[in-house]
Chains A and B, each alone.
Chain A
Amino acid sequence: MEKKIRILIGKPGLDGHDRGAKVIAAALRDAGFEVIYTGLHQLSESIVEAAIQEDVDIVGLSILSGAHMTIFPKILKLLKQKNAEHIIVIGGGIIPEEDIKKLIQMGVKRIFTPGAPTNEIVDYINSIIH
């Protein structure tokens, strides 16, 4: 059987707006990926634990709350602690340009901002996994 790309879509923290995450989850499903959606209000710890147990290739975090400079580093740190640095972290949300640069330096692979076409995200994922 062919290997399927597995992606966890997570909504960390207190941000309750999950329309974006759902749109992305549906687009990735339609692109043939296996998408694990863990729902709203997740602890960073739960997201990392789920990513490990589900053996995903990618974790995609949707953050619209402004807490991105706290949450992304925490997720990266937890993945490292658990020897799961092979899992690629990407993100999406309302995130300023200068923060994106810092996040990329920290080890987030890519950030998508509002208006990014879903097929661009799909193509990107295919290009980094294959």
Chain B
Amino acid sequence: MELLQRFLKGEKPAIARVITKIENGTDPKLLEDIFPHTGNAYYIGITGPPGAGKSSLVNAMVPKLLENNKKVGIIAVDPTSPFSGGALLGDRIRMNDLALNENVFIRSMATRGSLGGLASKTKDVALVLDAAGFDYVLIETVGVGQVELDIAQVCDTTVVTLVPESGDAIQAMKAGILEVADILVVNKGDRTGADRLIMEMKFAFELRVHNSDWHYPILKTTAIENIGIDELVSTIKSHKEYLEKSGKLETERKNKLVIRVNELIEEKIKTHLHEYVIDQKQLKKMIDKAYERKITPHYIIDEIAKKIF
């Protein structure tokens, strides 16, 4: 049987193979074939610093999400080494409880050079799981610091996970990661400092200019002991309900499509520039001149731009 048919029937080997093809970009038409089948899944993002317990949180949350015969697809992203191009993908270690569940599909992805906390193909792979009929698509980012915000451009609900060791409220008041949180989780809640961090985060969140009537909950969990997980999952569900009832789900998904289209345009232009416009030999000569301070980098840009405009 053809791959696409087996895929649409939900056969896991076919889903796995379609993901590989999308990830490697070897079959561009495939995305067109599956796209009409997307739009039904609810996308949940889990992000936070390394070691915050993102994978453990996913492992604990998923059984709750599976209730009422739901299916969950998980994408776990880990970093590619910029030096060797290799990657050690270890998120499955924490997701052992889910490995054999027939309603769960887990795929590890390496970032392959992308810096926003996801791989550049993660958005497309999420579409694959959506088309394969998973009710929830969970995306776990690499361990992130302050500015890796790609996750919020894919997910309907973004959960930011911190631990008592993450720092104080001043960290939270800086621009970045907390601005994309729909829900904030302080994991490893049994450790000293958890309650204090929650207090400080509440204060920091109150200072934010709220341009929506969502209340930005702050929750305490201990993922490996399954504490606080029920509340987290029900909070995610009430955020979903909030988005649906307020009509924001549609407007935000449209915004995300705009962002995606812009990204793809930029990618296309970049590839075109490097393949057809920039003459590498000529560029090298100009770089030599710039090194000798005879011309400026901006002059080089103008020279290249002349070929386009």
Chain A residues with CB under 8 Å of chain B are: 1-4, 25-26, 28-39, 42-43, 45-46, 49-50, 52-55, 82-84
B21 to chain A, nearest CB (A): 9
Q: Which of B86-112 contact A (CB under 8 A)?
A: 86-90, 92-93, 96, 99-100, 105-108, 110, 112
A36 surroundings in chain B (CB, below 8 A):
89-90, 92, 108
Does B65 reach chain A (CB closer than 8 Å)?
no
A91 to chain B, nearest CB (A): 19
Known: A34-B87, A35-B89, A50-B92. 17 other contacts (CB 8 A): A4-B24, A25-B88, A30-B84, A34-B108, A34-B110, A35-B88, A37-B88, A38-B92, A38-B96, A39-B92, A39-B93, A39-B96, A45-B100, A54-B108, A55-B17, A55-B19, A82-B13
B86 surroundings in chain A (CB, below 8 A):
28-35
Contacts A50-B92, A54-B108 hold; do A29 and B81 have CB atoms under 8 A apart?
Answer: yes
Contacts A35-B88, A36-B89 hold; do A43 and B100 have CB atoms under 8 A apart?
Answer: yes
Alpha-carbon distance between A30 and B81 when the two chains are bound, in angstroms: 8
Q: By the criterion CB–CB under 8 Å, are A83 and B92 in contact?
A: no
Q: By the criterion CB–CB under 8 Å, are B81 and A50 in contact?
A: no
Does B66 reach chain A (CB closer than 8 Å)?
no
Does B16 reach chain A (CB closer than 8 Å)?
yes
Does B26 reach chain A (CB closer than 8 Å)?
yes
Does B25 reach chain A (CB closer than 8 Å)?
yes
Q: Which residue of chain A is the closest to B76 with respect to CB atoms?
A: A36
Q: Which residue of chain B is the closest to A37 with respect to CB atoms?
A: B90
Does B85 reach chain A (CB closer than 8 Å)?
yes
Instruction: Sample 11 A-B pairs with CB under 8 A, ordered by A number.
Output: A34-B110, A35-B86, A35-B89, A36-B89, A37-B92, A38-B99, A42-B96, A52-B16, A53-B106, A53-B107, A55-B16
Chain B residues with CB under 8 Å of chain A are: 12-13, 15-17, 19-20, 23-26, 80-81, 84-90, 92-93, 96, 99-100, 105-108, 110, 112, 121
Q: By the criterion CB–CB under 8 Å, are A3 and B81 in contact?
A: no
A-B interface pairs (CB < 8 A), number: 89
A79 to chain B, nearest CB (A): 11
Alpha-carbon distance between A82 and B17 when the two chains are bound, in angstroms: 14
Q: By the criterion CB–CB under 8 Å, are B13 and A83 in contact?
A: yes
Alpha-carbon distance between A1 and B121 when the two chains are bound, in angstroms: 11
Contacts A38-B93, A52-B16 hold; do A29 and B87 have CB atoms under 8 A apart?
Answer: yes
Q: By the criterion CB–CB under 8 Å, are A49 and B13 in contact?
A: no
A82 surroundings in chain B (CB, below 8 A):
13
Alpha-carbon distance between A29 and B108 when the two chains are bound, in angstroms: 14
Alpha-carbon distance between A84 and B12 when the two chains are bound, in angstroms: 11
Alpha-carbon distance between A51 and B121 when the two chains are bound, in angstroms: 20
B16 surroundings in chain A (CB, below 8 A):
52-55
Interface centre among A4, A33, A36, A37 (most CB of B within 10 A): A36
Q: By the criterion CB–CB under 8 Å, are B88 and A49 in contact?
A: no
A37 surroundings in chain B (CB, below 8 A):
88-90, 92-93
B93 surroundings in chain A (CB, below 8 A):
37-39
Alpha-carbon distance between A49 and B23 when the two chains are bound, in angstroms: 20
Alpha-carbon distance between A4 and B80 when the two chains are bound, in angstroms: 11
Alpha-carbon distance between A28 and B89 when the two chains are bound, in angstroms: 12
The listed residue (B13, B15, B84) touching A32 by CB distance below 8 A is B84
Q: Which residue of chain A is the closest to B18 with respect to CB atoms?
A: A55
Q: By the criterion CB–CB under 8 Å, are B90 and A53 in contact?
A: no
A43 surroundings in chain B (CB, below 8 A):
99-100
Q: Which residue of chain A is the closest to B102 with respect to CB atoms?
A: A49
Interface centre among B24, B85, B105, B106 (most CB of A within 10 A): B85
Alpha-carbon distance between A31 and B106 when the two chains are bound, in angstroms: 25
B2 to chain A, nearest CB (A): 15
The listed residue (A1, A2, A25, A54) touching B107 by CB distance below 8 A is A54
